[in-house]
């Protein structure tokens, strides 16, 4: 008997009809005799609706994070209650738990909470009683009993964290795609589904803009070695297995995928004194404001000054620019400039380790399309570039072709 954790996203439970289809799927799975924990998101569009209400009532004042979390957590609670009702109608013994009932203990960072610990005693008792457990994703509770949320895509993290805590045999993420693709098929119709991908590659893909899995869920899965599989909610198929290490793929392709992110913004502080500690003086206040910095470039010093450029999420652009303006005054820098019309494109693959010239091949493909590169960042298995947003789809298509991802071959992990 295996223990499986399954997660169904918002589109999978977007209507009562779809909830019924999910219940049918769970009932068939349960009939096989395995233990099952199910994590669900809010119904499609519900979180956006609730955020809209909060903004409408708050006006120009940002909603209080505590109350916002309290409200947003209700979306998943509706889903779990409806799903358990559907399961019971089908004769399946089931019980629903919200995050605070499990409990899933988090820190107190409202809207971006991190899971610290999961109490599994109740869950194991319910599993021993033969019940399907349906848990609300995206949410938890801090040590003071305050409801918290994990950020967008947090239900993936909930599912993987539960699988780790319960030592599940597999965590299955059901969504509206049938696996992980070499890139977004809506941008490149020839994109191929991957049979498997390493945790390391998936982590880079998620961090560079792939929306299939939330990055923290991949981090959890890799850290606790939770077998992870991405599947389509309503179409049977093998999906994509996220493997423990690259040795599972004997003929690993050079590049496994092309990731991209439109939600980028760039800020430059020019005329900065080129002295020790200046980078911390600039980025320290940004970090203190809980704003994540991605790519960083510092130019060569001229006349004792330099330019310092970095990227942030587009939602954080205004806040970061305000902080940077204050830093500029403190450092007597020349000016602060910024733009939101950029995008990031990344090539990802563990095969880079044994193949030279991957970056130059990428740059050549972009040069052929007359696409200018504004920033470059590299790691052992990833090369990322910042370009003008208007060239994003052209760049992705060009790179997909350049690295021979358009069609599968005998050495590719795509099928």
In the annotated binding site for substrate, the residues are 47, 76
Residues annotated in a binding site for ATP? 7-10, 175-176, 181, 186, 211-212
Q: E strand or H helix at 17, and its extent?
A: helix 16-30
User: How far apart (Å, rounded) are the C-alpha atoms in residues 410 and 256?
Assistant: 14
Bridge-partner residues for 261, per DSSP?
344
Using CA atoms, how far residue 164 sits from 30, 65, 144, 390, in Å, is 20, 28, 24, 41
User: How far apart (Å, rounded) are the C-alpha atoms in residues 106 and 108?
Assistant: 7
The two structure tokens encoding residue 286: 């940004």
User: How far apart (Å, rounded) are the C-alpha atoms in residues 287 and 250?
Assistant: 41
Q: What DSSP assignment string belongs to 305-366?
A: EEEEEEEEEGGGHHHHHHHHHHHHHHHT-SEEEEEEEEEEEEEE-GGGGG-TTHHHHHHHHH
User: How far apart (Å, rounded) are the C-alpha atoms in residues 279 and 297?
Assistant: 10
User: How far apart (Å, rounded) are the C-alpha atoms in residues 6 and 125?
Assistant: 19
Which of 405, 365, 406, 407 lies closest to 385, judged by CA? 365
User: How far apart (Å, rounded) are the C-alpha atoms in residues 382 and 293?
Assistant: 17
Bridge-partner residues for 243, per DSSP?
198
Residue that is written with structure tokens 């439109």 in the block: 262
Q: Is the CB of residue 274 less than 8 Å from the CB of residue 284? A: no
Residues annotated in a binding site? 7-10, 47, 76, 175-176, 181, 186, 211-212
Using CA atoms, how far residue 241 sits from 120, 138, 244, 313, 351, in Å, is 26, 23, 9, 29, 18
Neighbours of 373 (CB within 10 A): 14
Using CA atoms, how far residue 391 sits from 362, 386, 400, 402, in Å, is 15, 10, 14, 16
User: How far apart (Å, rounded) are the C-alpha atoms in residues 119 and 101?
Assistant: 10
Sequence-ordered list of residues with C-beta below 8 angstroms from that of 312, at least 6 positions apart, any chain = 264, 265, 267, 286, 291, 292, 293, 294, 320
């Amino acid at each position: 008997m295996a223990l499986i954790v399954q997660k169904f996203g918002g589109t999978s439970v977007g209507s009562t009809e779809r909830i019924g289809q999910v219940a049918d799927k769970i009932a068939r799975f349960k009939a096989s005799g395995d233990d099952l924990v199910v994590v669900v998101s809010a119904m499609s569009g519900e979180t956006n609706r609730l955020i809209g209400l909060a903004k409408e009532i708050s006006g120009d004042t940002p909603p209080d994070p505590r109350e916002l979390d309290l409200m947003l957590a209700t979306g998943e609670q509706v889903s779990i209650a409806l799903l358990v009702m559907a399961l019971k109608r089908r004769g399946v013994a089931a019980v629903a738990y919200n995050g605070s009932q499990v409990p899933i203990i988090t820190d107190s960072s409202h809207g971006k909470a991190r899971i610290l610990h999961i109490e599994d005693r109740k869950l194991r008792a319910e599993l021993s009683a033969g019940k399907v457990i349906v848990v609300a994703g995206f949410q938890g509770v801090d040590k003071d009993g305050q409801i918290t949320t994990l950020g967008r895509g947090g239900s993936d993290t909930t599912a993987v964290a539960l699988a780790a805590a319960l030592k599940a045999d597999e965590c299955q993420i059901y969504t509206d795609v049938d696996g992980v693709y070499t890139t977004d098929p809506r941008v490149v119709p020839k994109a191929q589904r991957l049979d498997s991908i390493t945790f390391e590659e998936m982590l880079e893909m998620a961090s560079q803009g792939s929306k299939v899995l939330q990055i923290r869920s991949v981090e959890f899965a890799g850290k606790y070695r939770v077998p992870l599989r991405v599947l389509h909610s309503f179409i049977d198929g093998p999906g994509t297995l996220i493997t423990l290490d690259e040795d599972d793929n004997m003929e690993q392709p050079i590049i496994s995928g092309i990731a991209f992110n439109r939600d980028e913004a760039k800020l430059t502080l020019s005329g900065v004194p080129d002295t020790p500690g200046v980078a911390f003086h600039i980025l320290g206040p940004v970090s203190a404001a809980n704003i994540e910095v991605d790519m960083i470039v510092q130019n060569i010093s001229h006349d004792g000054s330099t330019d310092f450029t970095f990227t942030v999420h587009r939602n954080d652009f205004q806040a970061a620019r305000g902080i940077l303006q204050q830093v500029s005054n403190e450092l007597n820098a020349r000016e602060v400039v910024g733009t939101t019309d950029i995008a990031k494109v990344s090539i990802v693959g563990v095969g880079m380790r044994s193949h030279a010239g991957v970056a130059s091949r990428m740059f050549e493909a972009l040069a052929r399309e007359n696409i200018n590169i504004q920033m470059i960042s590299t790691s052992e298995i990833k090369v990322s570039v910042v370009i003008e947003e208007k060239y994003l789809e052209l760049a992705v298509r060009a790179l997909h072709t350049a690295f021979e991802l358009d069609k599968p071959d005998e050495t590719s992990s795509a099928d």
